[in-house]
Chains A and B, each alone.
Chain A
């Protein structure tokens, strides 16, 4: 059964600079997740292009996609941790994929687990962690290999206010370390407290793009 095709994004065009913190806001279904999926080359648009460091990402060969994705760290709303791997192994995975040496993996994973405050849970499995802890592991995994960009898709969607601000504080810390952060959220308080650039989407279109934006729908 297939209904009418739904246009998730239409005529969207903007540019994000290096070391910028940008929030993408909009109601559920506005196209935030689709936009992030397009940036990660998980989906392909019918028309248009996305340039990453000057290269059209849809012209990247399938075999080279992993290398492109290694430049991006992704934080998912539902964490997407590997259930059969420990916290340490989850965070180490990307570095292992990239072929880093065992010593580098150990050093960087321990550092980043310290940063997110989970050093003592390194040997635990995801099902032994709270929601907030899981999201911090997800953030550690996204950041451990020092990517150029962090994509955070509703990272606080399943968290209480205390854990929400914990995660946002960590994202700001990562941003201040020199990483571009693209945060998709519909959390009004988070956006208003950030005081950074906000791109507002509505029904798949950009309706507002403000340098120091606020949550307005």
Chain B
């Protein structure tokens, strides 16, 4: 217990007496943690972005004039059972008519021509959303090959296929870029943190040798460096959290203008505890592990 107290005291005084080096280390650790925070934000933002684009894609199945509403409802419930289907919505002939009128109420030529037709020319349909853009093909082949094909007039999948394919390649691309960024930045972050602490410990290599030669155990030598790693990591995590708060607030409006569904500030407040935990674990973890690795070679004496 008395040793632990002395180790903590020794680590703390080494930190405060080498203020310039401590501040520099905190600054670099803050940068590293901010990088990790950016990666953390990248994931929900791309998820929202991908979901937003995917939300805009669906396929519509149009039924023949003579298809009964109860048959359509039965088909709807069957389609809803398909695992890949996220949502099925029934649009009746009347609803389709009303939607068209509402959409084109400022276009008198279209409305007039609709009146001239004399009947409701729209077909009842099911609007189907898949969980992922790649799953539309399976859903459509289920409908076209199954027992319902006699009721179906047309499926507009083939007209929309190019758009769906583009969405698929876009989401896959964004995911790949995200993973690539995470790996590269993650490696950079770890290397920066490790080298910063390695240099700080290298400056003390003569002291470490002397400590060993006057009879200090490895833990008595290591301890103060670990304390410094923990304090630096925690301080850097706290600064990074405040920086994240400031940045998410500052860019919130601008991001909303580009991607209306994304609120960086909401992501921050919604994830504040887990985010701070990640930041502290990154800071303290890198500080402690880097110290342990860097000090090892000087303890061989």
Contacts and interface: CB of A to CB of B under 8 A. Distances in A.
Interface of A: 40, 42, 63, 66-70, 72-74, 76, 80, 82-85, 89, 93-94, 96-99, 101-102, 141-142
Contacts of A82: 207, 210-211
A141 B3 contact: no
B13 A66 contact: no
Contact of B13 (A63, A84, A102, A141): A84
A89 B6 CA distance: 11
Contacts of A84: 13-14, 17-18
Interface string B171-207: 0000000000000000000000000000000000011
B296 to A, nearest CB: 13
Interface string B206-236: 1101111111110010000000000000000
18 contacts: A42-B213, A66-B215, A69-B212, A69-B214, A70-B215, A82-B210, A83-B207, A84-B13, A84-B17, A84-B18, A93-B211, A93-B216, A94-B214, A94-B215, A96-B6, A98-B215, A99-B3, A102-B2
B145 interface: no
A97 B2 contact: no
Contact of A99 (B2, B18, B214): B2
A120 to B, nearest CB: 21
**B-side interface size class:** 20 to 34
A89 B55 CA distance: 67
Instruction: Count chain B CB atoms within 10 A of each CB in A42, A69, A82, A99 and give the residue with the most.
Output: A82
Contacts of A68: 215
Interface string B12-40: 01100110000000000000000000000
B258 interface: no
A89 to B, nearest CB: 8
A83 B207 CA distance: 8
Given A97-B215, A99-B2, 19 more contacts: A63-B217, A66-B212, A66-B215, A66-B216, A69-B212, A69-B215, A70-B214, A80-B210, A80-B213, A82-B210, A83-B207, A84-B14, A84-B18, A85-B13, A93-B211, A94-B215, A97-B216, A102-B2, A142-B214
Nearest to B18: A84
A80 B216 contact: no
Given A84-B17, A97-B220, A40 B207 contact: no
Given A82-B207, A84-B14, A40 B2 contact: no
Nearest to B204: A84
Interface string B143-178: 000000000000000000000000000000000000
B141 to A, nearest CB: 70
Nearest to B2: A99
B301 interface: yes
Contact of A42 (B14, B18, B301): B301
B112 to A, nearest CB: 90
Contacts of B217: 63, 66, 97
Contacts of B207: 82-83
B214 A97 contact: yes
Contacts of B212: 66, 69
Nearest to A92: B6
A94 B216 CA distance: 7
Contacts of A97: 211, 214-217, 220
Nearest to A72: B215
A69 B213 contact: yes
Given A84-B13, A101-B2, A67 B214 contact: no
B301 A74 contact: no
Contacts of B220: 66, 97
Nearest to B210: A80
A67 B213 CA distance: 11
A60 to B, nearest CB: 12
A58 to B, nearest CB: 14
B159 to A, nearest CB: 74
B93 to A, nearest CB: 85
B210 A67 contact: no
Contacts of A40: 213
Nearest to B6: A96
Interface string B263-301: 000000000000000000000000000000000000001
